[in-house]
Structures are given as structure tokens and as C-alpha cells.
Structure 1
Amino acid sequence: MKGFSRSDKELVEVDFNLLKTNFYEAWRKKRNISEDQIERILEKTGLARRSESKKLLPTRAAVLLFAEFPNDLLETKCSVRVFQIEGNLETITKETLNWIGTPKNINGPIAKQITDAHEHVLGLLKSGMRVPSGFKTTYSIPERAVKEAITNAVIHRDYYTKRDIEIRIFEDRIEIESPGLFPFNITPSNIGVERSHQYRNDLLVKHLREFPDPPNLDQNEGVRAMRQTMYTANLYPPIFWTYPNLQDAVRVILLNEKAPSEWDKVSGYLMKNKYIVNSEARKILYTENTVKVSKFFHRWVKQGLLTKIIPRTGAKRNVRYRLPATDEKMLFTQDKSK
């Protein structure tokens, strides 16, 4: 599959003079590279090489890093498009999409594109969305989660695919969709846990690190930061969609919705099951911390939310919990009022 080959290393027919920009100068000075012909510098740093016909050409990575308008110079698409959508679904009414305003196209070299996309999307989230009822939707999605999702989309997308990155802002969520499947060994279930065997765009990432104030380029660290900041904000964790839900793309979904509390999850389980033990609670709370779950149980028993059932043997590992019966709740209420 083409998306797993090195699209950023592919040679492109672009004039080197179009790459001699302020972005190129910032990169060269940051690396303390002495002034020289741009062709020679890019060849020495792996951003240019000779074709089979011995012609020196820049790589796609060089154009993405330095050209002012890479989207106009390359055959592929490499912009970010931002849509603001009324409601929670994209619909068509009388041949009109329920977009709010005109979609924003964000172009430019990669470093600028990432910064501009961050600023534009965060600006929309900060201002909120006016809904038909007259109320304004406010967003609780952490800034760090939004930035990491956008950065990952730009640097890890498949640059062979002729599609732009699309960011959709709904009332209840943000979706960031980037062309290409997950690279190598990465799946929706192990992203942020397993480290990718290699970057899809390793040449691009390597040189983007050399810019002044580069964005965070470590996918694993970025995904972990997204999960942690969403958890801290008491929101659902990021959702990752790809094949077979999507044919040739990865979509990150950040829900603007409070996640159920630990008690909501445990009580929901007990509505369907008579008893719960520590190991079962750890599974539904996504934690391996036995002591932490025991403290939850102790507090809920003390509050009268749960009844603790100790086996005759007294073995702690066999302790079970259930929702209290009606008479138990009454007794607890009476005790508290004394």
C-alpha cells in the first residue's frame, strides 16, 4: 500500500528558488548551517538528491517544510480545512449543507500550518457555537488535546493521498480526519501504548524538529497527553476510527461531553448484575489499582450507596458488594439523621 512507503522522500519537480524562504532561513540558522547554495545544503541534509537521470531535485518533505504555498506546487493536497457544523450531524436541507459560515482553508509550510490550525480551531471553540434555541454551546475540550490531535494529523498523514485534512466542529464533539491508515503496527487499540516501528514521514518529522519552537512530534507522547487531559477534564477519552469504519483515513473524535463518574459506572453495572467484586470494578473503571478501587468501595459503603458482603471464611479477595435493599437504605438514612 502506497501510504506505508515514504511519500515525504519522493522527489518532486519544484524549483529550489521557491524553497528559499523565511522558513528555510529559520531552519538553516537554527541548525547553525553556514550560507551556501540551497541545493547543496538540502542535498547534504537529505532533503534533496539526484534522480535516476542525475538531476538534483528536492524531496516532497523539503517543499512541505519550506515552500510558502506547497499545496499549489505539489500534485497532492496538503491543506487543512475547518468546518463548523450546526447540530451533531452533517445534513443537507434543500441542497444546502448545515455549515456555519464558509469552511476555512489553512495552507502554508507545515510549521505554520500547524500553528494556524491550532489558533483558528481554538478560537472557534473559545467563542462557542450559537444554536437555534438561542443558547451558546460552550466547549470543555482541553486545548492540549486539540493541539496534539491536529499536530498528529498533519505530520503523520499520508501525503500520497489527494485529500486535505478535515476538521469538523459539531455541537457535541470535534472530529479531525487525516488521509491514510495507521502506519505499521499501530491500531486504534494500541495507539499511545505501543510505539510505532517507524514514522510514516520520518524525514519530515526529523527536520521539523530543527525549527525554532517546533510542535510536539512524538505521536505516543501526544496521544497519552490527549488521554490524560481529557481524563483530567472529566471527559470521555479520545476515540480513534479507521478501517473498516473508514476506507483510507484516521479520524480522531474528541467528545464535548462529561464522562460518567466512577459511581455511575459501578452503579450501572449493578443495575444489570447483582454483585460486583474488586477485579470487575477495575475492568469497568479502566484501572489496575486495587487499592484505589478498595477506597471507592469503602467510601460508598460508608455513604450507604453499597452493601458489603463478607464471606464466612473472611477472605478479602472474596468480598462482594451490591446495591442496598430498600430497608437498608431507610436504616442508613435514620442513622445519619441521629
Structure 2
Amino acid sequence: MRANIQIEEFEDSLLVVAHIPEIEPFRKPCYIKARGPYDGSFFRTGEGDRKLSRYEVDRLMEERRQPRYDAQVVEGADVSELDSELVDGFLRRERAASPRVFARLSNEDALLTMGATGRGLDGELKPTLAGLMALGRHPQKHFPRANVTFAVFPGNSKEELSQDGARFLDSRTIIGPIPVMVSETLAAMRRNMRVVSYVEGGSRRDVAEYPEVAIREAVANALMHRDYSQEGMASQVQVNMFDDRIEVVSPGGLYGTVTVDNIGEYGSSSSRNQFLSRILESTPYPEDSPEHGYVVENKGTGFVQIQAALKNQGMNPAEPADSISLFVVTMRKKAGVGAAPSFSKALGGAAKGESDPILDFVRANGSAASSEISEVLGVSRSTANRRIKKLVKLGALTTNGGQGRSIRYLLPR
């Protein structure tokens, strides 16, 4: 490695400037030979040098070879743990797409060929990590943290609390195989997204705060490309919804030739988990899921679809952020939508000069049940009920005197 040394003028003085180019990914980490990679690898920060953790060094070394964590047989698992509906849909798709390859293979051999199963130490067929994550009924039985955590925060940071002291407006842990986790994450988003209705030519058009295509691609890609090493499995994929943005956080940084600068460009595609990516390409969503088709395209177009969906809705491009241990995709709320009273803000009351979305709805309809308010505003029933109770306490709403499901809310006379 050679430094590019130049002399530059700066404020009537001459400075010696040394530019050290970044080394290729397959040569990282750069370390002090006498101390070895685990003790001699450092990351430059504004306050000095920080020694890389063993986890970070291992992730950098993965660039020198193709990781095979997803191909590892899960010794404690059994093929009976695979979901028959997902397996049937997967094999049907593969046989239709590649009849010459799969025509004479039994289902057992086809799963073995695709890397969904493998031979254990005892010689018996067992699911691989890729097979369990894509096609298993409950992969978290073996990998408890291979899940998605979904949280809705009342402000623009994790430190902010709502007026009633709640840290979360909604929070849940989502488990199951990847198609189920993607589908249930989207369902959680729908419960908490504000939906704006436009009347055009006598018909109503509903537009959610964030395009579902963008969220689906971000979550599916996070689960497909995340770090499935033993150390990485201690962390989960996070979907954090703030008042002004959504963040999808994936354990493990970008892999291979893909960088923040070229992600989404033509020909820029690398897969940390090759077997899992290939299996998900033909893994269907469950029949009872509102999602249709297959989990991923596996053509290097995921980030392109995210950007296209955001652009089509008049939103700013997604913001990717990469480090050795994390990859984060941030989608910011459209400025025009943010100016209207979002429902998480409405929990504390509409600001001066703003209308309250619940009061507006009740005023327009004469009365409303909590279920109707929850559905129209696109939030969970518990979130709607918290705000309704606050409005009743303030005297802004009253009830019809009913009990249980017969309760309707009205404006006081």
C-alpha cells in the first residue's frame, strides 16, 4: 500500500497531505502484522482509533470467501418441521421453472439439491438453516433471535415518550418463517400507518403514508441478506416506526461488491446467503396471507423497487447506511403528510390551529365506534382507544350511554 503524498496551500501555509486509498474488500481488515488481525485492526473515529471487535473482524474476513452459514445443517431439527404448504408451493414452482432438472427427482432429492435439506452427522436428512428460515413452521425454536421486532415510537427518537408516559405506541415480536414474518410485519405497519383519502371524480383513493411495496422489499431483503453467523444470530431484524420515518435495521453490513454508492445500480448484486436467496425466489406466501406471489425476485432489483415506489408516491429516496455490523434503510415521511396531524401526534392532542383527526371523523359522521376510528385512521384498536379516552376526559367527546360494542362516540351538544 502506498500513500499519495502532496503539498497543499492552506491559509498562507504549506501542508503535507497524505491520502491513503481504501483497500479492496477481499484484503480487509488492514491490521498491524505484529499484533494480528484480532488485536491489530482499528477503525478511525473523530476522537481517535477504536479497535475492531472480533465480530467485526470476522465479518470483514468473510469477504475473502463465500459464507455458507445458510447451508449448514441444523443438527437438532427434523424435516418434519418444514411447512408442507410452503414446501409444496416451493417445489411446484421449481418443477415448473426447471422441468429438465427436477422432472426425475423425488421431493426429498429436490429439497436436497436446492440446499433446503442436508445430511446430518448421523446420515439422516435434516433441514438446513436456509430451509428452516424459508420453509420451516417455527425456525425460532432453534434460532430464537432470528425474528423481526416491530416498534412504533411516539416521537422522532427512541428516548421520547408520549404524554401518558408510553415508550411504545405499538410493539411486538414477529416470528415464523420468512414469508410469514414479512406478511405479519406488513400487517403491523398497516395498523399503524395513517391513510389519506382523496376524492377524485366521485371515487375515493386511499394512500398510505408509506408504499407497501417499499416496506415489503426492505423487510424481505433484510431477512434474506442478514448475517446468519453464530454471532450474528444474537441480533434480530428491527423495523422501527417513528413520527417522521421508518428504519429497517439488518444485522451485518453490505456484502461483496455492493456499497452504499452503487446499491441499486445495474449489475450491482452480491448475496451473503446464496442458498437462502435462491430458495426464497420460489417460496410462496401462505394461502391465508394478503400477500401474493413469491417472497423475492432475487434479481438484484429490491432496492430499485424501493426507490421506484417512493418516487411514485412523491417521496424522497430511501437512505441506506452501512457499517461492518449493521445495514439500515431509512424511509422518511412525505413532507405534506407530516404537516397534517399524524395519529401518533394526535395522542398528545392536536397542535394549536390543527384539527383533530378523531373529532373531524366524528363531526363528519355524527357518531363513531372505536373500531371505525381505528380502521379509518389505520391504527391499532388499543392506540385509538387511548386517544378516545383522553378526548372524553377533556370533554371533547361524549358517549351514547351504550356498553361494550354498542358504545358510540359523539360531539357534546
TM-score, normalised with respect to structure 1: 0.63
Match of 2:225 among 153, 156, 160: 156
Name the structure 1 match of 2:91: 28
Percent identity of the aligned residues? 22
Correspondence list, 1:190-209, <5 A? 190-193=262-265, 195-196=267-268, 198-209=270-281
Q: Report what 1:60 is aligned to.
A: 129
**Residues 209 and 218 of structure 1: CA distance in aligned 2, closer, same or farther (over 3 Å):** closer
- Per the alignment, residue 283 of structure 1 pairs with none
Over 3 Å counting, the alpha-carbon distance change for 1:219 and 1:171 in structure 2 is farther
Is 2:125 aligned against 1:45?
no
Contact 1:192 1:219 in 2 (8 A): no
Counterpart code for 1:83:
A
In the TM superposition, what whole-angstrom CA distance separates every residue of 1:161-194 from its partner, at most 9, and x where no partner exists? 1211111111100011011110111111111015
- SS at structure 1 position matched to 2:301: helix
Q: Does the aligned pair in 2 maintain the 1:16–1:38 contact within 8 Å?
A: no
1:67 Cα offset (Å): 1.4
| Alpha-carbon distance between aligned partners in 1 of 2:238 and 2:104, rounded to the nearest angstrom | 38
Contact 1:236 1:258 in 2 (8 A): no
Alignment check: 8 A CA contact 1:49 1:59 kept: yes
- Equivalences for 1:282-321 in 2 at 5 Å? none
**Cα distance in 2, alignment partners of residues 196 and 90 from structure 1:** 34
For 1:226 and 1:174, locate their aligned partners in 2 and report how far apart those are by CA, in whole Å. 13
CA positional deviation for 1:144: 2.1
Q: CA RMSD in A?
A: 3.0
2:181 is aligned to: 113
In terms of mean alpha carbon deviation, does 230-239 or 63-72 score higher?
230-239
Which residue does the alignment assign to 2:73? 11
- Secondary structure of 1:177's counterpart equals strand
Secondary structure in 1 matching 2:256:
coil
What are the residue-to-residue correspondences of 1:1-338 with 2, within 5 Å? 1-2=58-59, 5-13=67-75, 14-32=77-95, 39-51=108-120, 54-74=123-143, 77-91=145-159, 98-101=167-170, 103-126=171-194, 140-160=209-229, 161=232, 162-193=234-265, 195-196=267-268, 198-212=270-284, 213-218=293-298, 220-243=300-323, 248-258=325-335
| Cα distance in 2 for residues equivalent to 1:197 and 1:255 | 25
Q: Is the 8 A contact 1:149 1:176 kept in 2?
A: yes
For 1:165 and 1:98, the matched residues in 2 are separated by 20
TM-superposed CA distance for 1:38, in Å, is: 6.1
Number of residue-to-residue matches in the alignment: 244
Structure 1 contact 152–219 (Cα < 8 Å) conserved: no
Contact map agreement 1:49 1:58 (CA 8 A) in 2: yes
Q: Distance in 1 between matches of 2:208 and 2:85?
A: 36
SS at match of 1:31: helix
Contact 1:153–1:178 (Cα < 8 Å) also in 2? yes
Q: For the Cα contact (< 8 Å) 1:114–1:151, is it kept in 2?
A: yes
- Letter of the structure 1 residue corresponding to residue 186 of structure 2: H
- How many Å separate the matches in 1 of 2:208 and 2:136? 35
The 8 Å contact of residues 19 and 63 in structure 1, kept in 2 or not, is answered as: yes
Assess, with a 3 A threshold, how the Cα gap between structure 1 residues 225 and 197 changes in structure 2: closer, same or farther: closer
Aligned-partner Cα distance in 1 for 2:314–2:195: 21
